[in-house]
Amino acid sequence: MNDRPELAVLRLGHRPGRDNRMTTHVGLTARALGADRVIIAGDASEPKATIEDITARFGGPFGVELTDDHRRVLREWPGVVVHLTMYGLPVQELEGELRAEGRTAPVLVVVGAGKVPFDVYERADYNVAVTNQPHSEVAGLAVFLDRFFGGSELDREWRNATRRVVPKATGKELEPIDRE
């Protein structure tokens, strides 16, 4: 059994330009809340560069990959595929089962942008809803990751950062980190 589940996020349907900000936020949210990497389907070189820049400054490890064949990623995924969709079963009913799955197999969490092709619903081992109301892939991903990791992702330690935030009740402080 793994101590820490292996989890990647697959971002589908990225539209260059129009979705740059949302795709970047999918990646940053995945990184901040416990995922190991994000795989972005489509031409997302700008979001990739931004996520890599944040990782270089604030730490990792976290990977960013682009793919032009998301069906292959889904077909060849060696573990469990979780598709986040408002049409799925409630996350609060599935979270225990999904945590158990994550102890023995890598988890791929799929989020869309526009309309998600129906074969993704069929390929998914779990279609999971964070409420059955329409909202956002960033919000859905954040709630899912927190449920999946049970809050432990909030205490993650970061490696190879060049700076860190000093938590403060008021004001902003960043301190440099010496790497020797």
Ligand X SMILES: C[S@@+](CC[C@H](N)C(=O)[O-])C[C@H]1O[C@@H](n2cnc3c(N)ncnc32)[C@H](O)[C@@H]1O
Question: Is there binding between residue 145 and ligand X (CB under 6 A)?
Answer: no
- Coil, strand or helix at 164: strand
Q: How far apart are CA 29 and CA 50, in angstroms?
A: 13
Q: Are 51 and 24 in contact (CB under 8 A)?
A: yes
- Which of 28, 59, 85, 108 lies at the binding interface for ligand X (CB under 6 A)? 85
Question: Is there binding between residue 8 and ligand X (CB under 6 A)?
Answer: no
Give least dist CB 34 to ligand X, A: 17
- Which of 68, 118, 133, 171 lies at the binding interface for ligand X (CB under 6 A)? 133
- Residues contacting 173, CB < 8 A, separation 6+: 165, 166
Question: Is there binding between residue 120 and ligand X (CB under 6 A)?
Answer: no
Give 134 or 167: the residue with its C-beta nearer to ligand X. Answer: 134
Q: How far apart are CA 85 and CA 134, in angstroms?
A: 8
- Which of 45, 131, 152, 162 lies at the binding interface for ligand X (CB under 6 A)? 131
Give 4 or 135: the residue with its C-beta nearer to ligand X. Answer: 135
Count of positions on this chain that bind ligand X (CB under 6 A): 17
CA–CA distance from 40 to each of 35, 47, 103, 151, 156 (Å)?
14, 9, 25, 25, 23
Give 4 or 21: the residue with its C-beta nearer to ligand X. Answer: 21
- Coil, strand or helix at 152: helix
> For binding to ligand X (CB under 6 A), which residues are involved?
84-86, 111-113, 115-116, 129-131, 133-137, 140
